[in-house]
Structure 1
Amino acid sequence: MKNAGYLLLVLAIVFWAMRDIGPGTALIAFGFAGTWTLVGAPVWCGAETRKGLSCRKNSYGLLLGCSYNQHRWQKISDLFKPKEIREAFRGWFTGAANRIATCALAISAMGTLITLSQFLMSFA
């Protein structure tokens, strides 16, 4: 199932809302959902082509490029160059699937931080 990460994100939210399960399970689910959106979600590549346009080939995850090796390295290396960070994130908003995956990543990141704080407070 290629969209299983979205189901996992919904389950993570349900786990977080249910106080009986505990924050540890929700933390693991949010972590897996966030990892899936970065390396497994079916999205467009979005890397800059030689013509200056965004690549429209299919890729897996927001961090990985399409089948072109140059696009894979471009998307990952742009995250570590201060002047290229804006361009790296530009590809995350090139289409509907990318926007949904980016929103899922944001929800997953917030959920991870919230459940991590709850998990740490449960030991105090």
Structure 2
Amino acid sequence: MKSLRKYWGYVVAIVVVYGWFSGSLGPNILVVLSAIAFLYSLFQAPVWCCAETRKEEFCRNNASGILMGCWIREHRWQKLKWFVRKSAWGQLIKRLLSGFNGIAASFSAVGALVSAGAAVITLMVKTV
């Protein structure tokens, strides 16, 4: 039960994939579920911090979400700053894809974003 509480966003992402392939969920529900899975990946998914330490190594503390750091105040906003600065995107991607949890959260975020966009386009086409 504890792991379900920790990984609930991945369950939502699986429901989104099921909804697209089965056609049983409408685009309204897919937009909402995709947005929830996307926000989970950004701010709550369990990943390593991967911020740069003073020894120029990866921080291996646990963090919440691919954009937030660990409990150390300097690390908390470092990844978010990398996301905002276009010149640091390569470093951010390299650090996000350094472990399985980071890869899972990153692909979940990209998939949820694509899913939400496709569902919004589907809604727009159906209303026209």
Shared fold by TM > 0.5? yes
Deviates most, 110-119 or 34-43? 110-119
The aligned residue for residue 35 of structure 1 is 39
Q: Is the 8 A contact 1:13 1:26 kept in 2?
A: no
Moved more, 79-88 or 2-11: 79-88
How many pairs does the alignment contain? 124
Extract structure 1 runs of 4+ deviating beyond 6 A: none
TM-score (normalised: structure 2): 0.89
Q: Distance in 1 between matches of 2:105 and 2:113?
A: 12
Alignment of 1:4-83 (within 5 A): 4-83=8-87
Question: What code does the residue aligned with 1:97 have?
Answer: N
Q: Secondary structure at the match of 2:108?
A: helix
TM-score under structure 1 length normalisation: 0.92
Following the alignment from structure 1 to structure 2, what is the Cα–Cα distance between the partners of residues 18 and 117? 18
Give the superposed CA RMSD: 1.3
Unaligned runs of 5+ in 2: none
CA–CA separation in structure 1 for the residues paired with 2:74 and 2:38: 25
CA distance in 1, matches of 2:99, 2:22: 33
Query: Does the aligned pair in 2 maintain the 1:79–1:85 contact within 8 Å?
Result: yes
